[in-house]
Structure 1
Amino acid sequence: MTADSRPDFPMTELAQEITAEVQRLQARIASLLIYQAVLSGEVGTAFQQLLQALSQPTKDGINCLHAYGQWFYALAQRGQSWQEYLLQTLLKTENPFSLMAQQVEFAHLPQPLVAAVRHDLQQLQQLYVCSGDQLSLWVQALSGGAMARGRSLTIAPVVWPSQSSLTAAPFQNLEDWAAGTAALAAYYRQQGTGLVADYRALRWHGGSTGGHCPCRWEFSGRTGWL
């Protein structure tokens, strides 16, 4: 937060701690090198707008409440928790790593690319653990004139529940997601990304294909297998 954008009212110690943590999350997003697209969709954009509101709360916290509502609405439209959305988007997104991993063995991938992915996985892991419960509590603390008068909302905003993930990410149970970079490359090689990944989830009505179609496709100069 710059000097020009600081609130013109005294912030409590709790509020200062919250905004500092939020700014660290914003720095993690800004540092992404390969997986920027994970935060570019409607849910990701609403998440960033919520962080922006939390980092620069108004005196009454109304901007935080509004941004939280927009983020919750985006999750509700998809019927997904924040964690489920982040994992699913990460596994489907097309970027230099996910596309190259489908064609080149992991050991032969450019080392700067692998290093960038490891960096991004560490940043995304911290965004993953920033749960809806945590964000709701932050909004509660910064709303209702909390910073100016030491008060907050009596009830925290409703949270979209985090359930057992339907998306099996090859790294999600690791203490350090960066350690799962090779496993992620193997996942892309087996499952594909983008339209290919979506296609594998389908079932043909006229035959038993199990969602797999061994046909070659070419699109915009890219070649892969369905």
Structure 2
Amino acid sequence: MLESLYYQISSLTLYQSVFNHEVGKAFLRLLQTLQQNNEPVSTKALVLKAYGQWVKTLASHNISWQDFIIEQILGNDNPFSRQVQKQSLQDLPLSLIEAVKYDLTVLKTVYNCQPEQIKQWVQAFTHVDFELITWDLNPSDQNFFNQSENWLNSLEDLVQYYRKQGTGIIAQYKAFRWQTGKLIGIAHPDPIKLHEIIGYEFQKESLVKNTEFLLAEYPALHVLLYGSRGSGKSSLVKALLHQYYNQGLRLIEVGKSDLKDLGMIVEKLRDLPQKFIIFVDDLSFEEDDEAFKALKVVLEGSLTAKASNVVVYATSNRRHLIREFFGDRPRPSDGDEIHSWDTVQEKLSFSDRFGLTLTFEPANQETYLEIVRGLAQQADLSLEGEEIEYLAKQWATRHNGRSGRTARQFIDYLQGELAFKNR
């Protein structure tokens, strides 16, 4: 049984990398040591250490053995999981489908190895006079694999999962940062939700509608969110991720210094079925900035067709994204550009290249208090409304003025203060 299981795992074709994870490697080491027959005393010690290491890796990830196997299958990046996102199952080569079926059959056998059974293998091999522990977490029952005795019957469900969630790093994370020429997954993205953002309802509705166009594969526009500091522009973009992640939305943050790679990023995403928002925060440019040229190509297009699954959402405190100096304005001189006003107008109109511009006006007192009241209600604060409003006005005067950010900071402080008093 053990030897056969080890050879079956070794014979995997598409899903070999399931056992490249440290949990999978620990399991393979355990199977290998269980097959050794030389030097019984030292071999027993090796088996016990291998078993302990396998349990430790499962514990470090706080996952059951069954959930680990399924998690690795769902996130696996291989020829089948990539191709099936672009083609129907019927259009794939028969050999590829047969390879998938073979691998799923083997992995189902591995999945069926219960932790108690694995412990008994180790006990029987080592003949130790003490009881080993069992790593026994209850596996999840929310997955289509867990609800099917024959995994081959779930092949179509697996296909739909790959098309919706992607594979590899795209399946593993919701949000990403483009850094040093590659996507870096963000393990803990900002948890802000749409309902937590109060005020600016027209702007919120417009951005949500444009994002839903993107998800429905209708034409969607690049968006510039322009306005005063602390008005919630960045939070609004981040909140879209949690609202629409399960519909295939992903968020990629690109810093200004990396905008030169924008064309490369778009090409990497073009053929994926998921939908992507490239998020550029606090956007502005200097004279002859390479990032300006790179972003202009993505916004306006080039000979290469526009990627229909990618939009750019940028925030800025400046309406005119390229800084203009008085020295930029045309003056009569032999050395001046003849059509210099055209150059100035190109700079000033760059923001118009975004299909949709949403303006966030500075919050007046009523808007500020409306945000405070809404956040206080969400936080379930016990203070009376009039008292909260009085304290909120004082906070705005002493701190950063009236804005959504100031309101959030005030409510956070008030929550901490009340909790500290009532401890």
**Fold equivalence (TM over 0.5):** yes
Separation in 2 of the partners of 1:214 and 1:52?
40
What code does the residue aligned with 1:97 have? F
Select 1:59's aligned residue among 40, 43, 54: 40
Asked if 1 retains the 8 angstrom alpha-carbon contact of 2:18 and 2:73, the reply is: yes
Alpha-carbon distance, 1:156 to partner: 3.1
Aligned to 1:189: 163
Separation in 2 of the partners of 1:218 and 1:28?
40
Separation in 2 of the partners of 1:77 and 1:214?
27
Q: Report the 3-state secondary structure (helix = DSSP H, G, I; strand = E; otherwise coil) of the residue aligned with 1:223.
A: coil
Select 1:87's aligned residue among 70, 87, 90: 70
Q: Which is worse superposed, 92-101 or 58-67?
A: 58-67
Can you give the 5+ residue segments of structure 1 that lack an aligned partner in the other structure?
Answer: 1-20, 144-151
Separation in 2 of the partners of 1:59 and 1:115?
41
Alpha-carbon distance, 1:59 to partner: 1.3
Select 1:165's aligned residue among 137, 140, 158: 140
Asked if 2 retains the 8 angstrom alpha-carbon contact of 1:171 and 1:179, the reply is: no
What code does the residue aligned with 2:149 have? E
What code does the residue aligned with 1:100 have? Q
Cα distance per residue 1:59-84 (max 9 Å; x no partner): 13111101101111111111112111
Can you give the 5+ residue segments of structure 2 that lack an aligned partner in the other structure?
Answer: 176-188, 193-234, 253-264, 276-423
2:51 aligned with 1:71, yes or no? no
Separation in 1 of the partners of 2:54 and 2:267?
33
Q: TM-score, normalised by structure 2?
A: 0.43
Select 2:92's aligned residue among 100, 106, 109: 109
The higher radius of gyration belongs to 2
What code does the residue aligned with 1:155 have? F
Q: For this pair of structures, how many residues does the alignment match?
A: 197
Aligned to 2:29: 49
2:223 aligned with 1:223, yes or no? no
Separation in 2 of the partners of 1:218 and 1:75?
37
Q: Which has the higher strand share?
A: 2
CA RMSD of aligned residues (A): 2.4
Cα distance per residue 1:126-168 (max 9 Å; x no partner): 000112111111111111xxxxxxxx223332111131317x4
Q: Report the 3-state secondary structure (helix = DSSP H, G, I; strand = E; otherwise coil) of the residue aligned with 2:145.
A: coil
Identical residues among aligned pairs (%): 34
Asked if 2 retains the 8 angstrom alpha-carbon contact of 1:170 and 1:187, the reply is: no
Q: Report the 3-state secondary structure (helix = DSSP H, G, I; strand = E; otherwise coil) of the residue aligned with 2:271.
A: strand
Q: TM-score, normalised by structure 1?
A: 0.78
Asked if 2 retains the 8 angstrom alpha-carbon contact of 1:91 and 1:169, the reply is: no
Separation in 2 of the partners of 1:104 and 1:51?
38
Separation in 1 of the partners of 2:270 and 2:130?
51
Separation in 2 of the partners of 1:45 and 1:62?
18
Aligned to 1:14: none
Asked if 1 retains the 8 angstrom alpha-carbon contact of 2:174 and 2:250, the reply is: no
Alpha-carbon distance, 1:179 to partner: 2.4
Quick one: structure 1 residues 164 and 47, their matched pair in 2 at CA, closer, same or farther if it must change by over 3 Å?
closer
Separation in 2 of the partners of 1:189 and 1:160?
33
Cα distance per residue 1:95-121 (max 9 Å; x no partner): 011111111112212211111000000
Aligned to 2:114: 131
What code does the residue aligned with 2:154 have? G
Separation in 2 of the partners of 1:222 and 1:30?
35
